[in-house]
Structures are given as structure tokens and as C-alpha cells.
Amino acid sequence: MQSLGAINLLPTTSSQHQRIHNLSLFTTHNLKSKSTRLGVRLSAISPKNEGGSVNVASQSAASSTSFLSLLCPLLKFFGGGDPSQGRNDLIEIATSSVSSLARFPWGSRSINDSAKDPVASAPNLQLYEFEACPFCRRVREAMTELDLSAEVYPCPKGSLRHRDFVRKTGGKEQFPFLIDSSTGISLYESGDIVKYLFKQYGNGRGPSVGLLESTVLTGWVPTLLRAGRGMSLWNKAGIEPSQKLQLFSYENNPYARIVGEALCELELPYILQNAGIGSANSDLLFSLAGSREVPYVVDPNTGFQSGDYKAILSYLFTTYSTDNSNVSA
């Protein structure tokens, strides 16, 4: 369990550090170049606003969904394997940490001068999304910065429950999809969702500089580096708990990302308690766990609590598997 400010990639030699550093530079440079070309093509077909200028932040969700549909089989092939089985720690943490560097500083700290008491409450926001989607990631980053809690309903490909709800409620199967029960608002487009959240909960602030625009440049880095983790339903998933789990997290934490992927692959709904740097929820987390580090998972169904991401993975894939005989996460 680590905070972003103290990422430890496990004991490595200087040459291994250099290879990881080179991987970061190579990946970011190449993906920025490719994403820039993608952004040009998308902007050419994006609808214009009333002033006649192209709004890059309001990318066509149909285009992103289509691209992900093409990318998913390739990512699944390279990612491969059973997510419940043992993993190479060095590769897991290295790829997730480079993903965090690519999206830094978004989704790392609370920018709201929150005066709320550090007491867990039922959130008004319901977010339907899947972990690997860069446009869903944009919304989660905004929620971290606004220090918002939300009920999260993962919608992986092959979903047994939540995708059907989105299709019946909103009229189409597109993500992210947000419902705010306090205002009755429901929204699809990630750019529109981010703007709404800042208008409604930002205390006069607008979206952070670069948050909306950066998605087409580096928003794909975590999706690619993590080889599609958090995109598809695990074939042994299916158990739905009677009560939602709680996840204390912030979006750009590399360890929390790995846990979020597992929750998505199991299609487990959970209450997201954002606990970024400066968050009021950090005090709640400290009173609960004796630490402000994330991720931290609480399962009210069994009494399980842990801040060790590997223990969390093992627990989730064992407890919520339809066949836990071969689980060794």
C-alpha cells in the first residue's frame, strides 16, 4: 500500500531502473505522437460548438467506443491469462507506475477546499464505467480532484448486469454514464460529465487545466500499458454481494489502479471514497486504518479490511469467484 509520492518499484538494480526509465520515455513519446494523429482525425469529425470552433474535449463517444472495440481483442491477447493467477510484481507495478506518470498530475489530489466532516455518507452520484476506458478515467480523475464519493458500477465487456441497466435507462450502451440522484441529471459524454461535476461541486472552479484536453494525448497510456486489464469480465465472475464494498482510493495511484481493474473484471459494485492528497476522506481513512495510504478495501459482507493490494486481489478473486479452486492472485 503506497502513496504516489513514495512509489517503490521493488528492489531493482541501477540497470533495471534505467530500463524502466527508458520504457517510460519511449512509451510516452510514441503514444503522444500516435495520439496526436488520432486527435487530428477525431477533431476533423467532431461536432462544432455554437462559435464554430471544434470542441476537442467533447469527443464522439461512438468513436471512442468503436476504437476500444477494435483494440480490445488485441489487448486481451497480449494481456492474456487468468487475472486471478499469480502475477509478476515488477511488471505489474512498473506498468501501473508509468501509467500514473503519464497522467500526472490529474487525479492525484483534492483541489476542493472541502469543509465536510470526515464521515462516510451515502453518495448521490452513480457512475457506470469500466476501468480501462480512457474517457471513464477522465471522469474518475475529476472526482478525485473534487473529493467526491460515488457508487461505481463496473461495466466490463461481457457484463452480466450493469451494461443492461445503462442501455435500458439511458437508451444506449455507452460509457461513462453518470446519474446524480440529487439533481435528477443523467449524462453520457465524459467531457459533459466533467464540466457538470465542476459546475455542481467545484465551488466556482472550472476543470483543471489540461484535464479535458490531455485525454486524447495520454489517456490511452494506462489502457495500453496495462494491456487491457479492467476491460473484460472474468469468466468465473458472477457472484453479486448483498452490500457494496468500499474502496478508499485516488485515481492516479498505481496500486489502487490494479485493485480497480480487479473490481471491474469481477463486476463488483462498490462505493468509491476518494482520498487524494488533501482530501477530507484521508482523515476518515486514518481513523479506520491508522494510515492515509491507498488502496484500502472494506467488505461489509464478510468483515474483510486490508490495505495490501496483493491481499486484496487474492481475497476478491477467491471470495467472488464461481469456482475458487485455482485462485492464486
**Is 50 a domain residue?**
no
**Is 3 a domain residue?**
no
**pLDDT at 223 (0 to 100):** 85
The single-letter code of the amino acid at 286 is F
Report the range out of 78-82, 113-117, 181-185, 273-277 with the highest average pLDDT.
181-185
**Is 4 a domain residue?**
no
Mean pLDDT lowest for which of 28-42, 159-173, 228-242?
28-42
**Is 87 a domain residue?**
yes
CB atoms within 10 A of CB 269: 18
Determine contact, residues 83/217, Cβ cutoff 8 Å.
no
**Is 247 a domain residue?**
yes
Determine contact, residues 159/236, Cβ cutoff 8 Å.
no
With the CA atoms of 12, 80, 295 and 251 taken in that order, what torsion angle do they form, in degrees rounded to the nearest 10? 100
The single-letter code of the amino acid at 86 is G
- Helices 61-79 and 134-145: crossing angle in degrees, nearest 10, is 100
**Is 93 a domain residue?**
yes
Name the grid cell of 130. Answer: 469500466
How many degrees, rounded to 5, is the angle at CA 316 between CA 153 and CA 88?
110
Determine contact, residues 162/108, Cβ cutoff 8 Å.
no
**Residue-number span of the structural domain to which 322 is assigned:** 11-45+59-329
Which H or E element spans position 246? strand 245-249
**Is 145 a domain residue?**
yes
For residue range 287-322, what is the model confidence (pLDDT) as tens digits? 889 999 999 999 999 999 999 999 999 999 999 999
Higher pLDDT, 170 or 31: 170
**Is 311 a domain residue?**
yes
Determine contact, residues 208/194, Cβ cutoff 8 Å.
no
Q: Predicted confidence band at 216 (pLDDT cuts at 50, 70, 90)?
A: confident
Give pTM, 2 decimals.
0.76
**pLDDT at 110 (0 to 100):** 82
Q: Count up the domains in the chain and report the number.
A: 1
Report, as an integer, the average pLDDT of 94-117.
Answer: 73
